[in-house]
Structure 1
Amino acid sequence: MTTYHLKVTIGETEPPVWRKIAVPNHITFHQLHLVIQECFQWQDYHLYKFELPDVESPITRLFGDPFIDEGNDIDAREMLIDPYIAKGGRFRYIYDFGDWWEHVIDVLDIDPLDDARAPRVTASQGESMIEDAGGVGGYYRIMDILHDARNPRHEEIERWVEWQAPKPFSADTANAHMDELLYFPKAAYSSSAAPDAGICPARRVKLRDVVDALEYQSDALAAYIDLDAVEVRMLFFEDFVGQEEYERSLREFESCNSLMLPRPEELDDYGVMRSFALMQEGVAGDRLKRAVEGRGAFKRFKSEVAKLGIEEDWLAFRDESRAETARDFLEANGVRWA
């Protein structure tokens, strides 16, 4: 696996606040954004963009909102970093267009033989800044007040910092967190194919198949994505289908680069029911809110939905919630969908 070694420095900090990170070559710019967020303990509350010397338009996450999207930006979830990284290169990452936290990203090295787990922090300097502090200048003004007990705003700022500031930065903690949440398996794509409008083509798993698999799983059936074939498959358990079918499905599972889908117990079905209940108005809302409280909530909720005659509305809402869960899961794991 090719690994890029990058140094990310928050601009105008003195002494400089930076992190050296290693990331795999096959991730998107949105996934690089997630890594930077983790390494500087940002909260991912705000918009962001990457600015590259050879790319005219900013690379950001598009939201389909004309008041947010400029119309000529490039979707960071569709843009692989690989074609744009060269040793000695430099580009910028801006987080929070109000505070304008500017990060300068230098490409230190490209290692085609690095098999270590990535992403990871390899070195660091300086503590993380504080979200919503007013940018670098605002942060330093806040620190000045914090260290001046005679300042009339000292106690106010002290309380704010105690509530808002992240814990002292630890590379080990950041790596452990990324190891759990931001390990990106290599999605199948053809790096030799000619990029179309700067976007490297990739094979995509069908989102509908992932949503259906999330719904179909049970104690006797698990779902996973074959990342080599880029398709959803099922893993049958022996007591469900018998020895022969179990061994066949197990061989398929073990022979591929796989990504297990979230198990039924990991899905917040109760939260989806409660959200639907809170959306309803009047008598329907009151009845559904009562139904989701206490033991037996699932059965009561289903019964009330049937009595109210809103099964189609509920199923559509549940399906969209499943689709959102599937999209978030695939995005976090570097798997594209269609």
Structure 2
Amino acid sequence: MPLWTLKGHTPKALGIKVFKKNDGAPYATPDHSSKKTRKNKQPSSDKASIYQLRIQLQDVEPPIWRCILVPSDIELEDLNKVIQTSMGWTNSHLHEFSNGKNAYVPSWELEDDLCDPGNSIAYEGLCLHQFLKRKNDLLRYEYDYGDSWEHLVVLEDIQPHRDGVILPVCIDGARHCPPEDCGGAFAYMNMLNVLKKPKHPEYKHIKSWLGGPFDAEAFDLYEVNDLLQQPNFGLLEWED
């Protein structure tokens, strides 16, 4: 029996296929049948391992989560963008990583007094492997200090470096992220409950606020990976 068994594949534009070990741990490998290569590759050193991360939004049921592969030396600045695109956020609010002791934020949040300076550190130049070193190590990631979307980022597996592997890549996930500015986890759960009841007094208001169809169960792995291959990992560049 071969060591690696086929799990599936991402869009051909990625130039990779996703495999998993017999124990279920997935990894990505070059797909030499594709002539297309990534336009904006996330650089990684020759010694960088491959980290398999599970990112799960907290306080929401059923779970909203993604499983991604990234180089162990990815900088937190880029990891933020990968999380944003993988989850479906728009990177239009403040954010921070936390290890339970300090918060790690963009330097401009510190310069503009947008966070607590007492325990906040600028994250530019800091790499993921400085925080996650062993399986099950974790970071917390908060997006939008108003709605306070808390995510748990867990290191599920560590794979050895492989030449030609294109990273980052999302290999699995479930459900659509909540709409931006909907009020946080409690408000989102209430919104889902109302949308199941067309006669609810808030139903028309919420439908109007959404501005169109919203499928909480939708998750398109191919679309996420297509975006991750684009400049800035598929995110718009916000101007000051």
Q: Same fold (TM over 0.5)?
A: yes
Are 1:58 and 2:106 matched, yes or no? no
Alpha-carbon offset, residue 71 of structure 1 = 2.5
CA distance in 2, matches of 1:21, 1:6: 5
Aligned to 2:211, the other structure's residue is in SS state helix
Match of 1:4 in 2: 51
Match of 1:108 among 156, 170, 180: 156
Are 1:136 and 2:185 matched, yes or no? yes
* Paired letter, 2:136: G
Match of 2:173 among 124, 128, 133: 124
CA distance in 2, matches of 1:138, 1:104: 20
CA distance in 1, matches of 2:113, 2:153: 28
CA distance in 1, matches of 2:73, 2:139: 18
Any gaps of 5 or more consecutive residues in structure 2?
A: 1-47
CA distance in 2, matches of 1:70, 1:137: 25
Alpha-carbon offset, residue 114 of structure 1 = 3.5
Are 1:30 and 2:77 matched, yes or no? yes
Match of 1:305 in 2: none
Aligned to 1:110, the other structure's residue is in SS state strand
Match of 2:114 in 1: 68
Alpha-carbon spacing, 1:182–1:23, altered in 2? closer, same or farther (3 Å): farther
Match of 2:93 in 1: 46
Alpha-carbon offset, residue 164 of structure 1 = 8.9
CA distance in 1, matches of 2:225, 2:122: 27
Higher relative contact order (CA 8 A, sep 6+): 2
Match of 1:18 in 2: 65
Counterparts of residues 201-216 of structure 1 (less than 5 Å): none
Alpha-carbon offset, residue 41 of structure 1 = 0.8
Alpha-carbon spacing, 1:4–1:182, altered in 2? closer, same or farther (3 Å): farther
Contact 2:51 / 2:158 at 8 angstroms: preserved in 1?
A: yes
Q: Identify the structure with the greater strand proportion.
A: 2
Q: Identify the structure with the greater helix proportion.
A: 1
Alpha-carbon offset, residue 66 of structure 1 = 4.5
CA distance in 1, matches of 2:145, 2:222: 30
Alpha-carbon spacing, 1:40–1:164, altered in 2? closer, same or farther (3 Å): farther
Counterparts of residues 250-265 of structure 1 (less than 5 Å): none
Match of 1:160 in 2: 209
* Paired letter, 1:124: G
Alpha-carbon offset, residue 92 of structure 1 = 0.6
* Paired letter, 1:147: K
Contact 1:131 / 1:164 at 8 angstroms: preserved in 2?
A: no
Match of 2:140 in 1: 92
Aligned to 1:15, the other structure's residue is in SS state coil
* Paired letter, 1:70: D
Alpha-carbon spacing, 1:162–1:6, altered in 2? closer, same or farther (3 Å): same
TM-score under structure 2 length normalisation: 0.69
Q: Higher Cα Rg: structure 1 or 2?
A: 1
Contact 2:172 / 2:221 at 8 angstroms: preserved in 1?
A: yes
CA distance in 1, matches of 2:161, 2:76: 22
* Paired letter, 2:98: E
Alpha-carbon spacing, 1:47–1:164, altered in 2? closer, same or farther (3 Å): farther
Any gaps of 5 or more consecutive residues in structure 1?
A: 184-327, 329-338
CA distance in 2, matches of 1:3, 1:48: 24
Alpha-carbon offset, residue 74 of structure 1 = 1.3
Alpha-carbon spacing, 1:156–1:49, altered in 2? closer, same or farther (3 Å): same
Aligned to 1:78, the other structure's residue is in SS state coil
Contact 1:60 / 1:76 at 8 angstroms: preserved in 2?
A: yes
Match of 1:147 among 196, 207, 224: 196
CA distance in 1, matches of 2:113, 2:213: 29
